[in-house]
Structure 1
Amino acid sequence: MPGTTVKRVTAADVARSLGLSRATVGFVLNDTPGQTIPESTRERVLAEAKRLGYRANSAAQALASGRSRIVLLVLPDWPLDYSMRTNLDEASLALDEAGYSLVTMTPHPGGHARPLWETLRPDVVVGMAPFTPEQLAEIRSSGVQQIIPPVAAGESGAAGELGFAEGPRLQVDHLLDRGCRRLAFAASADPRIAELVGQRRELARRTLLERNGSAFAAEAAVDESDAAAQLRAWVDDGIDGIVAYNDDIAAIMLGAAVRAGIRVPGQLAIVGHDDTPLARLIVPALTTVRVDNVGLGRYLAELALSAATGSAPPIAGPETDAHLVVRETA
């Protein structure tokens, strides 16, 4: 019937069904160390628990052990693109293999939802981007002991420098090495990722300055509505190479070039970033930067597990490097 509450099967129900003491059943179901329970009894308890539909009370177990076995990943308000999804899928799988659950949350400006670090009591809170001082104070006051990164945005050590941050350098180097001399930076117009776009643009700009002693000949945020006009203006101004924020932006510019009859890479070379499936499927195929999001997801999981268990933190390896994938557009 609607509204009927199903009674939860408890360890006491299993004990009563088997005629065993609650203590014995509790030792088996909780896998309590140091107890000498006959294997035949253990098998009977587990079989009966399964038959009755017994499920452990995770909240009670967390209270008793002081651990929830939950890792909370706090995401910036970014679009959930291919790279992010791959990263999260692999981190979730790696944590599951270790007996932990990955839960994600995205704080929104002006939001009224209670933060999950208060309601879930996670063992570890990980920020995909550094926390604000206010967030860090709130997380600590909720009782969470392990926070990654442990310092707020703008403080020393707030964000590590991993190899994949060199992707924009690879983009610029490749275009210059193939003979391009007037480069433009094509950015995303999505305001949610303005900071990330700015970081990639700055890395690319510094590379261009080191190599040529000059800045970008042009920069613009583009979308489908204005890509054609922007591209025509750039080509008329002598732009012969485009550094795109990501593969989506690169594909928008490539599509505009194809429709305008601009030869790629004959007249204009384009390099994307992220090596999404789109980069391989579009014609001509995109030259882009590949980041091992699978390896990066596992590295993120290992970082969280080291904080949860007190083990040594992982050392960033090849999975955090960026690699140029040369295809047809540059």
Structure 2
Amino acid sequence: MSPQAQRGAKRVTAADVARSLGLSRATVGFVLNNTPGQTISDATRRRVLEEAERLGYRPHTAARTLASGRSRIVLLVLPDWPLDHSMRANIDEASVALDRAGYSLVTTTPHPDGQAVPLWESLRPDVVISYAPMPDALHEAVAASGAIVLAPGRGRFAAAHDERFAGGPRVQVEHLIERGRRRIAFAAPDDPRLADLVMQRRSLAAATVAASTGSPLAADAAITPVTAPDMIADWLSRGIDGIVAYNDDVAAIALSAALRQGVAVPDRLAIIGHDDSPLAGLLVPSLSTVRVDAAGLGRYLAQVALAAVEGAETPSAGPSGDVHLVQRETT
């Protein structure tokens, strides 16, 4: 059937299944809704399910939501951040964990000048999770939709980017110092949406350099494919011998610029990324980096959402916050 024909076709209802089998609507409804406490024979149950499949019956989501009081939807409100490898792993694992429990994960990114109806109003999700703190007005608006709201600093929810997962820059710096580097620069992405996260990682890198060497970061700047060649040349002229990159993408930009200028990596310049994305192992030379359990955090957030909607106790044990060094060829 063509998409146009499908859109124009009448929805198959439980009443259609009942008429086809000569059964009562109540009996068919009990089977299709898996209503407990009904004495319906296995043979009748099989007939109903087989006929429903043959006719192409699909449950009416809105009606089911009204009947059960649940949409079985979890809405994830994302800040306006680029979806890097770590965030994708987080969302993917949360989606899988929720799907196994019979819930769908839907993501949305609100914009200040957006005109669309907010999804928490149109979808009526059971739970709304925010990965960033919510202003009071927004929190009240979402809660007014009837959803359970989980946001950093409110109720049972721990921040999505828990401090346990913020130790990557410390491991990056300590590794470079162990490799004999003393003049270390911090390379950041040129993306204003990441300003808060960049500041967080930069601050920890600077504090670790100061604690280990007694000196500040030798340099600190945003880097792009356009600015990278001049920046790397300038850093090398100032004796910089190690680069801590905000993530693997930024590290790849620095590495490419260095190699194109004939710089020996890691002999003259060591570079370490963050996140252990697939890119890191494919580069030549392969990129040293650090890994955090972003996927485990996604699974944990799914467990928190499920506990909230089921009225169960919030799981106390989240994923390990350990940061693992992945040493490859650039250090």
CA offset digits 1:60-81 (Å, max 9, x no partner):
1111111110000011111122
Superposition CA RMSD, Å: 2.0
Aligned to 1:258: 259
The answer (yes or no) to whether the contact 1:295–1:320 under 8 Å persists in 2 is no
Output the CA distance in 1 between the equivalents of 2:57 and 2:295: 35
Output the CA distance in 1 between the equivalents of 2:300 and 2:85: 18
Aligned to 1:34: 37
Aligned to 1:245: 246
2:271 is paired with a residue of what secondary structure? strand
Q: Residue 211 of structure 1: CA displacement?
A: 2.4
1:73 is paired with a residue of what secondary structure? strand
1:324 is paired with a residue of what secondary structure? strand
The answer (yes or no) to whether the contact 1:87–1:297 under 8 Å persists in 2 is yes
Q: Residue 162 of structure 1: CA displacement?
A: 4.4
Q: Residue 210 of structure 1: CA displacement?
A: 2.6
Q: Residue 86 of structure 1: CA displacement?
A: 2.2
The answer (yes or no) to whether the contact 1:131–1:151 under 8 Å persists in 2 is no
Output the CA distance in 1 between the equivalents of 2:210 and 2:141: 41
Identity %: 62
Output the CA distance in 1 between the equivalents of 2:276 and 2:313: 32
Q: Residue 317 of structure 1: CA displacement?
A: 4.4
Judging changes above 3 Å, is the alpha-carbon distance between structure 1 residues 97 and 327 closer, same or farther for their aligned structure 2 residues?
same
Q: Residue 322 of structure 1: CA displacement?
A: 1.8
Output the CA distance in 1 between the equivalents of 2:170 and 2:84: 22
Aligned to 1:43: 46
Which residues of 2 match residues 102-181 of structure 1 at below 5 A?
Answer: 102-149=105-152, 151=154, 161-181=162-182
Aligned to 2:304: 303
Count of residues in Structure 1 that have an aligned counterpart in Structure 2: 327
Judging changes above 3 Å, is the alpha-carbon distance between structure 1 residues 143 and 286 closer, same or farther for their aligned structure 2 residues?
same
1:54 is paired with a residue of what secondary structure? coil
Aligned to 2:314: 313
Does structure 1 residue 326 correspond to structure 2 residue 312? no
CA offset digits 1:180-231 (Å, max 9, x no partner):
1111100000112122111111121222233233321110001000101011
What TM-score do you get using the length of structure 1 for normalisation? 0.93
The answer (yes or no) to whether the contact 1:146–1:307 under 8 Å persists in 2 is no
Deviates more, 1:308-317 or 1:266-275: 308-317
Does structure 1 residue 88 correspond to structure 2 residue 91? yes
The answer (yes or no) to whether the contact 1:172–1:207 under 8 Å persists in 2 is yes
Output the CA distance in 2 between the equivalents of 1:92 and 1:125: 14
Q: Residue 265 of structure 1: CA displacement?
A: 1.1
2:76 is paired with a residue of what secondary structure? strand
2:187 is paired with a residue of what secondary structure? strand
Output the CA distance in 2 between the equivalents of 1:95 and 1:201: 34
In the alignment, residue 40 of structure 2 is paired with which amino acid? Answer: I
Output the CA distance in 2 between the equivalents of 1:64 and 1:92: 25
The answer (yes or no) to whether the contact 1:254–1:270 under 8 Å persists in 2 is yes
CA offset digits 1:243-279 (Å, max 9, x no partner):
1000111011111111112111111111100111111
Flag structure 2 segments of 5+ consecutive residues without an equivalent.
Answer: none
Output the CA distance in 2 between the equivalents of 1:38 and 1:146: 42
Output the CA distance in 1 between the equivalents of 2:152 and 2:196: 18
What TM-score do you get using the length of structure 2 for normalisation? 0.93
Aligned to 1:97: 100
